[in-house]
Amino acid sequence: MKNKELQQGEYDQFRTFLEQQCGIVLGENKQYLVKSRLAPLMTRFNVESLSQLVSKTLSAHERQLRAAVVDAMTTNETLWFRDQYPFELLQNKIFPEFSDLIRPLKIWSAASSSGQEPYSIAMSIAEYQAKKPGALKMGAQITGTDISNTMLDICKAGHYDALALARGLSTERRRKFFTDSGNGMAQVNDPIKKLVNFRHLNLLDSYSLMGKFDVIFCRNVLIYFSPEVKAKIIAQFSQALNPNGYLFLGASESMTGLSTDFNMVRCNPGIIYQKK
């Protein structure tokens, strides 16, 4: 039987490694999270204990293992149209503001996980254009990024099982934007898929090759970072946004004390941040 316990010193070393690799700050007592996320990798990489797995992870030449560990620790739960109000704000406030653009509207989903957020944005665009023929006449370009190559493969496939489809997706939207592929699975339709381009990005790295955006979504991600890393990420988002562009954070996330580049816009419901 494989040993899935970590000594305190090993856990502390792993916490440091994870923060250096991707900015995520683990709390003092999150051993259970490390255990649940990394235990499946023990069989895959043929190690007998979690202690051995962590020890090998800390070795610089174990690149494949390190990538798999970061993958496992950064994969987050997600759902379609999460919290609803950001997508209502897109259709009721933001799309109308950009409706007369003479270029494509550019939106970035900065932590796309398994694709639900960027595809929800794409569906929102399709719904808006159906209600307002001629609006956003140059279309839109959505970029989805994530640190996990495993998640990006799921995003690019756009193929979801019954459990994933049941989380936040209405029957009407499933009928309109997906094609059933049997066994409860469904595929995102091509017109929606073509709106989204996926690429790998670590939010700790430079965004200079990403270009400029009108709207950035980075929701329920900053909560995992230290204040210093949060401030750095928000500063880089500011540089990546066009003037008057919008930044969406998670409902429990705040920019207080992190940046003066944005005005807070109170909506009903929700809050968004507009670049000054």
Q: What is the model's pLDDT at position 59?
A: 81
* Mean pLDDT value across residues 239-247: 97
Q: Look at residue 229 and tell me whether its pLDDT is greater than 80.
A: yes
* Mean pLDDT value across residues 108-125: 97
For residue 251, what are the CA distances in angstroms to 20, 218, 220? 26, 11, 8
Q: Report the candidate in 10, 99, 21 with the shortest Cα–Cα distance to residue 56.
A: 10
Two tokens at 66? 């390190």
Q: What is the model's pLDDT at position 2?
A: 62
Q: What is the model's pLDDT at position 261?
A: 96
**pTM of the predicted protein model:** 0.88
Q: One fold for both 8-74 and 85-275?
A: no
C-beta of residue 80 within 8 angstroms of C-beta of residue 112: no
Q: How far is CA 43 from the centre of its chain?
A: 28
Two tokens at 69? 């560990």
Q: What is the model's pLDDT at position 249?
A: 96
Share of the chain above pLDDT 90, in %: 67
Q: Look at residue 3 and tell me whether its pLDDT is greater than 70.
A: no
Q: Look at residue 56 and tell me whether its pLDDT is greater than 80.
A: yes
- In terms of CATH, what superfamily is 85-275? Vaccinia Virus protein VP39 (3.40.50.150)
pLDDT tens digits, residue range 129-176?
999 998 999 999 999 999 988 899 999 999 999 989 999 999 999 999
For residues 163 and 209, give the distance between their C-alpha atoms in angstroms, rounded to a whole number.
35
Q: Are strands 159-160 and 185-188 parallel, antiparallel or unpaired?
A: antiparallel
pLDDT higher at 92 or 30: 92
Q: Look at residue 222 and tell me whether its pLDDT is greater than 80.
A: yes
Whether the bond into 269 is cis, omega within 30 of 0: yes
pLDDT tens digits, residue range 145-157?
999 888 999 999 9
C-beta of residue 222 within 8 angstroms of C-beta of residue 111: no
Domain residue extents for the chain: 8-74, 85-275
Mean pLDDT score across all residues of the chain: 92
Q: What is the model's pLDDT at position 126?
A: 97
Strand-pair partners of 109: 144, 217
Provide the 10 A C-beta neighbour count for residue 167.
14
Q: Report the candidate in 216, 236, 239 with the shortest Cα–Cα distance to residue 90.
A: 216
Q: Does domain 8-74 fall into CATH 2.170.130?
A: no
Match 């019954």 to its residue by tokens.
Answer: 162
Half-sphere exposure of 54 (CA within 13 A, CB side): 26
* Mean pLDDT value across residues 258-273: 93
Q: Look at residue 274 and tell me whether its pLDDT is greater than 80.
A: yes
Q: Look at residue 1 and tell me whether its pLDDT is greater than 60.
A: no
